[in-house]
Amino acid sequence: MSVEADPPARSGVLAGSIGALRTLILGSLLCLSAPTSLIALGWLMRRMRFVALRRAGLPAEKPGWVLGPTDGPWRLLAGLAANIREGLMAAISLALATAPFTVIWLLSWWAGWENSFSKGYEQAFAGPLLGLVGVAVFCALMIWLPMALAHQAVENRSLALFEWRKVRSAVRHSGWAYVLLALATVTFALPLFAGRGLVTFASGIVPGFDDMSAEQAASLASAIDLGLAAYLFVALLILRSWSARVYAASVARALDGPDASVWQDSALSAGRLGGRRSWSLTHWVRAAALSIIWFGLAAQIFVGQFLNHDWHLWLTHPFLFLPWAG
């Protein structure tokens, strides 16, 4: 019996490995540019919904890159269309949600870095002050932003990220798993931060870099970009799936407490996992811990800008907006 079962098992493993490799290649290539990263963002949103529904014990359809889940004339492009649609919805929500600190950071960069070249020293305080205000806003908003993104992914509704009562309830019932997710996110961002400094320190890292021709330097830069894109996609796949599981568990706990009425129309309301009520004291302790952890990501962004100060990098970070390795 075992001999007969071995070939199908091996073929299943092989098919799964090929599928994983295809996903890695497509995801990495899509993360190389801002426009195509919208497709990757949409696919990640659909993947989050799949993981959350499965975590809640509900039926879910695995997302595809191009093909749709059902037969019909639109199947050939249904998956791609869904990825673009959800990517655009997520990008709009994230742009609005992150603007309160990214715009402040951009103004801080102009008032500080750029103003110093214009000899505007009498306004020297403006840049650092704006930067600190932006960091404070960032740390506060990041307490709820990852959970809000998971909420929009599951609900598949435009601007669901701003449904404050549900997002607040999910954060309150998230437990310490949400804190661990934030810590993992800041840790996973370190290679991306290091990648922004490669341009500055390339001469000391890559032997013979100064003697390379323009074509060789361009080939090296392309290889580095592809490597960072592959790392970014894998990191986001892990982190977004993790956040979806935390969200599903949080909703299940909320359904067993005073917030149950808030979640009656949720896509996860039928999948109850059980849980316990979240205490207010521990919620505020977790909020303080989250603010401290997210400060680590803000520090990476600021230091990274001194190494590679393209202005658009203030407005987008792969873990906060588009999954773009640029």
pLDDT of residue 146: 97
pLDDT digit string, tens, across residues 178-235: 999 999 999 999 998 887 766 666 555 666 656 667 776 677 678 888 999 999 999 9
Name residue 177's amino acid.
Answer: A
- Cβ-proximal residues to 106 (8 Å cutoff; 6+ apart), any chain: 311, 314, 315
What is the 8-class DSSP label of residue 203? Answer: H
Backbone angles phi, psi at 253, to 5 degrees: -70, -40
Residue stretches of the chain with pLDDT short of 70: 1-12, 69-76, 113-125, 197-212, 216-217, 220, 271-281, 309
Q: 153, 314, 313, 168: which is closest to 243 by C-alpha?
A: 153
pLDDT digit string, tens, across residues 82-112: 999 999 999 999 999 999 999 999 888 877 7
- Cβ-proximal residues to 256 (8 Å cutoff; 6+ apart), any chain: 272, 274, 275, 276, 277
Residue spans per domain, the chain: 93-314
pLDDT of residue 2: 44
